[in-house]
Amino acid sequence: MNPEPDAKPASFSRVTITELMIPSYANFGGKIHGGILLSLMDKVAYAAASKHSGAYCVTVSVDTVDFLQPVEVGELVSLKASVNYVGNSSMIIGIKVISENVMQGTVKHTNTCYFTMVAKGKDEKPTQVPKLLLENKTDVRRFVEAIRRKKYKQEYSSFLEKLKINSGNVDDFNILEGQRCILHPNLK
Ligand SMILES: CC(C)(COP(=O)(O)OP(=O)(O)OC[C@H]1O[C@@H](n2cnc3c(N)ncnc32)[C@H](O)[C@@H]1OP(=O)(O)O)[C@@H](O)C(=O)NCCC(=O)NCCS
């Protein structure tokens, strides 16, 4: 039973996109362009977010896109998306990408990443989305992990801010020792 009629379970908006990797998707090395996969991830994230919210959604942030293994021409790529977390207007969509060699019958996990999508109203402003009904332990685990990642991301952003060199002048060159760069004599 759904205790809050407006809340929606993750199962309501779960989406899978499957696409055959054709030769025109390949880079000069014969592997599939990372950008092709990013575009598919964006599409599947949009599909899950707009299904959950019933609204037009935009991509705000993309986390941890690491291509663990190359995808080859001829493979069948499936992207499974699920709403993991819901804020006020934002949703975090978890996406698992797998690639299947249909002739050999082998499957590889190429990456898992997280897209933050925001629902917008007719006025183009962020609009509230339905709560997420957590139906099982996996739903709970994903929601809690998303809260942790969100918190970590905020701390990391402020940490990165502190690493910036505001004046544009580096006064301590020691950090360059052992790096693969050479200082122009004018700088010494
Ligand atoms: C995302 C956007 C709507 C935020 O607008 P805003 O006026 O700053 O609105 P808010 O500050 O209320 O943020 C709205 C939500 O986005 C979240 N958000 C904003 N920036 C974020 C970021 N960098 N990472 C994760 N979430 C973010 C906020 O936490 C908030 O979530 P909540 O409503 O669940 O609490 C606005 O920046 C935008 O439209 N960006 C362009 C998105 C786009 O066009 N993408 C396509 C790629 S070109």
In this prediction, residue 80 carries a pLDDT of 98
Scan for tokens 């499936």, then name that residue: 78
Nearest atom of ligand 1 to the alpha carbon of 128: 33
Q: Does the beta carbon of 87 sit less than 6 angstroms from any atom of ligand 1?
A: yes
Nearest atom of ligand 1 to the alpha carbon of 89: 33
Provide the residue ranges of all domains of the chain, joining segments of one domain with +.
8-135
Per-residue pLDDT of the chain (188 residues; tens, 9 = 90+): 666 778 999 999 999 999 999 999 999 999 999 999 999 999 999 999 999 999 999 999 999 888 888 999 999 999 999 999 999 999 999 999 999 999 999 999 998 999 999 999 999 999 999 999 999 999 999 999 999 999 999 999 999 888 887 766 777 788 899 999 998 988 87
Q: Whose CA is nearest to atom 48 of ligand 1?
A: 59
All residues at 6 or more sequence positions from 98 whose CB lies less than 8 Å from its CB, including other chains:
77, 78, 80, 107, 108, 109, 110
- CB-based contact 57:49 (threshold 8 Å): yes
In this prediction, residue 2 carries a pLDDT of 64
In this prediction, residue 57 carries a pLDDT of 98
In this prediction, residue 171 carries a pLDDT of 73
Topology adopted by domain 8-135: Thiol Ester Dehydrase; Chain A (3.10.129)
What secondary structure, in 3-state letters, does 62-126 show?
EECCCCCCCCECCCEEEEEEEEEEECCCEEEEEEEEEEEECCCCEEEEEEEEEEEEEEECCCCCE
In this prediction, residue 9 carries a pLDDT of 97
pTM of the predicted protein model: 0.92
Q: Does the beta carbon of 53 sit less than 6 angstroms from any atom of ligand 1?
A: no
Handedness of CA 50, 43, 120, 157 (dihedral sign): positive
Burial class of residue 80 (count of CB atoms within 10 Å of its CB; 0-12, 13-18, 19+): middle
